[in-house]
Amino acid sequence: MLNTERIIRHALQEGLAITLVLNKIDRLILELKIPPEDAYYKIKHTLDSLNQIISEFFQNSEQSENYFLNPVKGNVLFACSEQNWSFTLLQFAHIYLGDRTRKMKNINPEEFSKRLWGDLYFDSTTRKFSKKPSVDSNASRRSFVEFILDPLYKLYSQVLGESSEVLAHTLKALNIKITKEELKLDCKPLLKLVMHRFFGVASGFVDMLSKFVPSPVEGAEHKVNTIYTGPPDSPLAMAMKKCDPKGPLVVHITKLYPDLSLNYFNAFGRVFSGTLEVGASVKVMGEHYSLEDEEDMTLQEVEGLFICQTRYNIEVTSVEAGNWVLIKGVDASIAKTATLGN
């Protein structure tokens, strides 16, 4: 999508880390119903298209390789949010090397995960990986298809198409515990339950972010050096670079969201420095504000603070530097973006 390309280029322009979530993988199985080998090529085409955008941004230089999206790196997550599962290649490797199978002991999960993507083939006869398929194509299959897509396809078909007795036998072989009452569930809730038991807690997204995206404190200096146009060695700049909760207040407003009542807007922004509190009087500096012309500046009182948690807004009394926050009471003079200070 055009908006996706724009976001990628904007992130690259600011030197931000990029991770990718390939969601709705289940649609390849349930809706398109394409064979596992074709599903691999469809996924690969999506990745190649995104990497082409990255390559063109850096004019095909070696710098683009640092930002390329590659499942082997771990910066690509395969997911199905509707059925509450996700995995990286390393996580799927751990499934094979865990308690569910005893055929692959004494194998390094990280080394195994590197063989689960790309032009690598697994020969079931010799039990070895190779860069080219063997002469006997029936015995040699692409590793991503052999170890990941095939098991997913079979698990889906077992849940949706087999009797409860056959399914119970399959799940027992995978060391997935399920009761007789749960086996009587309808297809959709049963499928969601089985996939959750197979993959466990869907922690892949958080694991990926913690590995590739720096924390607010770690990334503050780079972010300030990239977007702050003031003196780089001023006390304000140093406080933002340290993400100092005791420094002068600086909040960058990025967007306005209408309240559920539709009577006013809540301002969404990031606290770069200081601590924002309910009841505080803040300067709202608009896009046209400058030290020479303070006309685009008003004083507003913070009436409420909320932390966004998916569809819920958690009300809080204060928010420290490094956090995103939803602010009530400061929208009157904001057209699009603004900066809050004290």
CB burial of 59-71 (b: ≥16 within 10 Å; e: otherwise) equals: eeeeebeebebeb
Residue 100: pLDDT over 60: no
Q: 161 and 35 share a domain? A: yes
Q: 175 and 31 share a domain? A: yes
Q: 154 and 202 share a domain? A: yes
Q: 101 and 202 share a domain? A: yes
Q: 189 and 263 share a domain? A: no
Q: Give the per-residue pLDDT at 104.
A: 56
Domain boundary among 193, 210, 227: 210
CB 148, CB 28: distance < 8 Å: no
Q: 250 and 192 share a domain? A: no
Q: Give the per-residue pLDDT at 204.
A: 85
Q: 135 and 50 share a domain? A: yes
Could you tell me the CA-to-CA distances from 210 to 145, 216, 258, 334 in Å, in that order? 28, 11, 31, 33
| Tokens 């809080």, residue located | 316
Q: 95 and 155 share a domain? A: yes
- Number of domains present in the structure of the chain: 2
Instruction: Indicate which CATH number applies to the domain containing 298.
Output: 2.40.30.10
Average predicted confidence (pLDDT) for the chain? 90
* H-type alpha helices, 72-113: 89-97, 109-113
Q: 165 and 58 share a domain? A: yes
Q: Give the per-residue pLDDT at 116.
A: 94
CB 275, CB 323: distance < 8 Å: no
Q: Provide the domain limits for residue 137.
A: 2-210
CB 183, CB 192: distance < 8 Å: no
Tens-digit pLDDT profile for residues 227-280: 898 899 999 999 999 999 999 999 999 999 998 888 999 999 999 999 999 999
